[in-house]
C-alpha cells in the first residue's frame, strides 16, 4: 500500500516517551483467495465472495459438513533457509507458524524498517491463535518422534519462534480467547507499549482449517451456516462459515514511525462472566459496558465515530446482542446513520484471526477513503430495530469515507470481548516534485525475479516520494539472505534503466576510479549543481582558485567546447568535479578512503597549486588525496 508518513522524527524507539500515541505502522496478511493486502483490497472493492466450495482441505460434504469454507491459496511453500529453520524442523512445523514468520518479515518491511535495524530491540510479540491442527506430530509412532513436532506445533512457540528468529527481546506469548484472540493480542500489545514493557510490538492472528474435526464440532453445536455464508445483519442469517487467515501488524510509538496507517485511540477488553443462557451465549450488555468504558477513558464522544466494523458473524443470537448494544451507545444524538459492516460477509469467520482481518479492512478503508461493500445483506434483521428505523446503515456498496474515527468490535464464544478505536492519518500524500536530476533507487531480494518485481513496482510508483523514501530506509542496511541486488534510474522519461546482479557475502574494497584528461565536455556538471552538497564542494574549490583568476563555477555551468581546449580549464574542472562527487559519496556513507589509480603518462597530475603565471604544476605520480 502507498506510504503515508507522519510529520515525526525517524527512529526505532524512544523509551523516554511513555505517554505518546501508539500507531499502526506495518501491515501484511494472507486471506482466502488473496495472497497479499493489495489483492485482498481489490477483492473487497470488487465485491468478490472469497468463500469457495472445493476440496483443497477435505472432500466436499464430508460428515455432512457445509461444503463452503474460506481457504488460503497456498500453504505448502516455505523458505526455511531464509528464516534459519533446519529442514527437520521445517518438515513438521505448523504451517500457521511458517506463515507468521513470513508475514512478520513483510510487516516490518512495510513499516519502512530493515529487519537488521530492529534486531535486538525491545519488541514484543503477541499472537492470537486457538489451535494447532498439526499436533499429530506429537502422537505419531514413538519410534518416529524426534522432538521437532513439539517445537514446531506448540502454540507457545508461535510468538517465541518469531522473537527468536528476529531477535526481539520484549514480551512474547500466545493468546487464546477464541474468536476475539487477535484483538485481545492487540490490546495487550498497546498496554505493553504504554507501560514500558516494550517499545514496539508485532501483533498477529492466524487460523488454518487443516482437518474437519473442529468444523464438525462447531457444526454439531449448530453454529455453522448450512449455505456457507456469514449473512451479517440480514434477516436470513443462520450461522457462520469458517475461514482461514493470517495477519500481522507492527505497532510503534508515534515518534518512531516512518509511516502511519492509523492511531490507536483506545483498546480495552472484558469478559461476560456467568450467564443464565450458558457460556456460549453472547452478552450484549457486557459488550455495551466495555464500549462505554473505552470511550470514557479515551475522552471520545461516540458520536464522533463514523463507522463500526462489527464482529458480525450472521448468527441468530450473536448479531442482535452485538448490534443492539452498538446502536444503544453510538446512535444517540446522531445526525446521520452510523455506518456498520463486517468483513466476515466477504471472507468468512477466521475465528482467532478475525479481529485483525477486521483491522486490515479498516486500514484499507482509511488508506483509500472508501469503505468496502458488505456482502449477503438483503433485508434487515428484525431483531435489530436500528437497522429498520435508519439509525444504522449497513455498507451495502462501496461507501465514500472522508476520514476520522472508526471502531472495531469483537467477542469470543466463551464471552471474551474486545473493542478498539482508531483514528485515520490525515496527512496528505506528497509526490516527488518534477526535477531535472535522475534518481537512483537500489533494492535487494531473495531471487532475481523478486528484485525485478520490486523494481517494476518502483517504476509504477516513481512519483510517490514517501514510498521511495521508505524503500531507501529499508535498503540502507543489508538484509540477510538477500542474494540479489538491483537498481533503477528514475529519470522522468520512458527509458527505464535498471540492472540486477547476484552478490556474495564477500566484503570487497571500495575503489574510486577517476578519469583523466579527455573526459571533459561542455555542461558536464550543470545539473549536478542542483545538489546542495555538490554545489558547496565546488564553491570550496572555486574560492581556492579565484586568486589565480580561474572562474571554476562559470566553467562548469557555462563552459563550451572552445574553453575546454585550454588544458588548464579542462584539468581544474575535472578535478573539482571528482572532489565534489567523492564528498557526496562520503556523505552517503560510501567509505572515506581514496584508492590509487594510475593514469596515462600524460595525465599523471595532482592538484597542488599554481605558479605566478597560472600554469599547472606537474608531478610524476598519481592523483590522490
> Which residues are marked as active site?
179, 311, 349
Is residue 579 exposed (0-12), middle (13-18) or buried (19+ Cβ within 10 Å)?
Answer: middle
> For residues 258 and 473, is the Cβ–Cβ distance under 8 A?
yes
DSSP letter string, 457-498: HHHHTTTBHHHHHHHHHHTTSPPTT--EEEEEEE-SSS--EE
Contacts (Cβ under 8 Å, ≥6 apart) of 504 = none
Angle between helices 354-368 and 37-45 (to 10 degrees): 70
Relative to beta strand 262-271, strand 22-30 is antiparallel
**Residue 195 is placed in which grid cell?**
507501560
- Residue 63 backbone zone (phi > 0: left; psi -120 to 50: alpha; other: beta): left
Q: Give the DSSP H or E segment for 117.
A: helix 115-118
Query: First CA to last CA across the chain, in angstroms?
Result: 46
Contact 500, 455 (CB under 8 A): yes
Q: Which of 178, 208, 205 is nearest to 189 (CA)?
A: 205
> Is the sign of the CA dihedral 175, 181, 184, 186 positive or negative?
positive
| Rounded-to-integer distance, Cα 236 and Cα 573, Å | 80
Residue appearing with cell numbers 461476560: 272
Handedness of CA 563, 568, 574, 579 (dihedral sign): negative
Helices and strands (DSSP H and E) totals, the chain: 19, 18
Q: Take residue 484 and report the three cell numbers written for it.
A: 540479489
What is the spatial distance between Cα 550 and Cα 543, in angstroms, rounded to a whole number?
9
Q: What is the 3-state secondary structure (H, E, C) of 474-485?
A: HCCCCCCCCCEE
Q: CB of 410 within 8 A of CB of 175?
A: no
Output phi, psi for 259, to 5 deg. -150, 155
Cα radius of gyration rounded to whole Å, the chain: 30
Q: Cα separation of 494 and 158, whole Å?
A: 46
Amino acid at each position: 500500500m502507498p506510504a503515508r508518513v507522519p510529520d515525526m522524527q525517524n527512529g526505532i524507539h524512544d523509551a523516554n516517551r511513555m505517554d505518546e500515541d501508539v500507531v499502526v505502522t506495518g501491515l501484511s496478511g494472507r486471506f482466502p483467495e488473496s495472497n497479499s493486502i493489495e489483492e485482498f483490497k481489490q477483492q473487497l472493492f470488487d465485491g468478490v465472495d472469497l468463500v469457495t466450495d472445493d476440496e483443497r482441505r477435505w472432500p466436499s460434504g464430508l460428515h455432512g459438513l457445509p461444503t463452503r469454507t474460506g481457504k488460503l491459496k497456498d500453504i505448502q511453500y516455505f523458505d526455511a533457509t531464509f528464516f534459519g529453520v533446519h529442514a527437520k524442523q521445517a518438515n513438521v512445523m505448523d504451517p500457521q507458524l511458517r506463515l507468521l514468520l513470513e508475514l512478520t518479515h513483510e510487516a516490518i518491511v512495510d513499516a519502512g524498517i530493515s529487519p537488521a535495524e530492529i534486531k535486538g530491540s525491545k519488541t514484543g510479540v503477541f499472537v492470537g491463535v486457538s489451535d494447532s491442527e498439526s499436533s499429530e506430530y506429537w502422537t505419531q509412532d514413538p519410534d518416529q518422534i524426534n522432538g521437532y513436532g513439539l517445537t514446531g506445533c506448540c502454540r507457545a512457540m508461535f510468538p517465541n519462534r518469531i522473537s527468536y528468529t528476529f531477535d526481539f527481546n520484549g514480551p512474547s506469548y500466545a493468546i487464546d480467547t477464541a474468536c476475539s484472540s487477535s484483538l485481545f493480542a492487540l490490546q495487550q500489545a498497546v498496554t505493553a507499549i504504554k507501560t514500558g514493557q516494550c517499545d514496539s510490538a508485532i501483533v498477529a492472528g492466524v487460523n488454518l482449517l487443516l482437518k474437519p474435526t473442529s468444523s464438525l464440532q462447531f457444526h454439531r453445536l449448530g453454529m455453522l451456516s448450512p449455505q456457507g455464508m456469514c449473512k451479517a445483519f440480514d434477516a436470513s442469517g443462520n450461522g457462520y462459515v469458517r475461514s482461514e487467515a493470517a495477519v500481522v501488524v507492527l505497532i510503534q510509538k508515534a515518534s518512531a514511525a516512518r509511516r502511519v496507517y492509523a492511531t490507536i485511540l483506545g483498546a480495552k477488553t472484558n469478559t461476560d462472566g456467568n450467564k443464565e443462557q450458558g457460556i456460549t451465549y453472547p452478552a450484549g450488555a457486557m459488550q455495551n459496558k466495555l464500549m462505554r468504558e473505552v470511550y470514557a477513558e479515551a475522552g471520545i464522544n461516540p458520536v464522533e465515530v463514523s463507522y463500526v466494523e462489527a464482529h458480525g458473524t450472521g448468527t441468530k443470537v450473536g448479531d442482535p446482542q452485538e448490534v443492539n448494544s452498538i446502536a444503544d451507545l453510538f446512535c444517540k444524538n446522531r445526525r446521520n446513520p452510523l455506518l456498520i459492516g463486517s468483513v466476515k460477509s466477504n471472507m468468512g469467520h477466521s475465528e482467532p484471526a478475525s479481529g485483525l482481518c477486521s483491522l486490515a479492512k479498516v486500514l484499507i478503508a482509511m488508506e483509500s477513503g472508501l469503505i468496502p461493500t458488505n456482502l449477503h445483506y438483503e433485508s434487515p434483521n428484525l431483531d435489530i430495530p436500528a437497522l429498520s428505523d435508519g439509525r444504522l446503515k449497513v455498507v451495502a456498496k462501496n461507501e465514500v469515507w472522508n476520514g476520522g474515527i472508526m471502531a472495531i468490535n469483537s467477542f469470543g464464544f466463551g464471552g471474551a470481548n474486545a473493542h478498539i478505536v482508531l483514528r485515520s492519518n490525515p496527512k496528505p500524500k506528497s509526490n516527488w516534485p518534477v526535477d531535472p536530476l535522475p534518481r537512483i533507487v537500489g533494492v535487494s531480494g531473495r531471487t532475481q525475479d523478486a528484485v525485478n518485481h520490486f523494481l517494476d513496482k518502483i517504476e509504477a510508483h516513481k512519483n510517490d516520494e514517501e514510498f521511495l523514501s521508505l524503500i531507501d530506509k529499508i535498503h540502507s542496511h543489508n538484509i540477510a539472505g538477500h542474494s540479489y541486488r538491483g537498481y533503477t534510474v528514475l529519470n522522468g522519461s520512458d527509458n527505464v534503466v535498471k540492472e540486477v546482479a547476484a552478490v556474495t557475502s564477500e566484503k570487497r574494497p571500495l575503489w574510486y576510479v577517476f578519469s583523466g584528461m579527455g573526459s571533459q565536455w561542455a555542461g558536464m556538471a550543470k545539473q549536478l549543481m542542483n545538489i546542495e552538497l555538490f554545489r558547496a564542494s565546488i564553491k570550496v574549490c572555486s574560492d581556492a582558485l579565484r586568486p589565480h583568476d580561474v572562474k571554476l563555477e562559470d566553467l562548469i555551468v557555462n563552459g563550451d567546447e572552445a574553453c575546454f581546449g585550454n588544458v588548464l580549464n579542462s584539468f581544474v574542472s575535472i578535478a573539482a568535479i571528482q572532489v565534489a562527487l567523492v564528498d557526496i559519496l562520503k556523505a552517503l556513507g560510501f567509505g572515506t578512503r581514496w584508492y590509487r589509480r594510475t593514469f596515462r603518462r600524460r595525465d599523471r597530475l595532482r592538484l597542488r597549486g599554481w605558479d605566478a603565471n597560472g600554469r599547472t604544476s606537474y608531478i610524476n605520480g598519481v592523483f590522490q588525496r
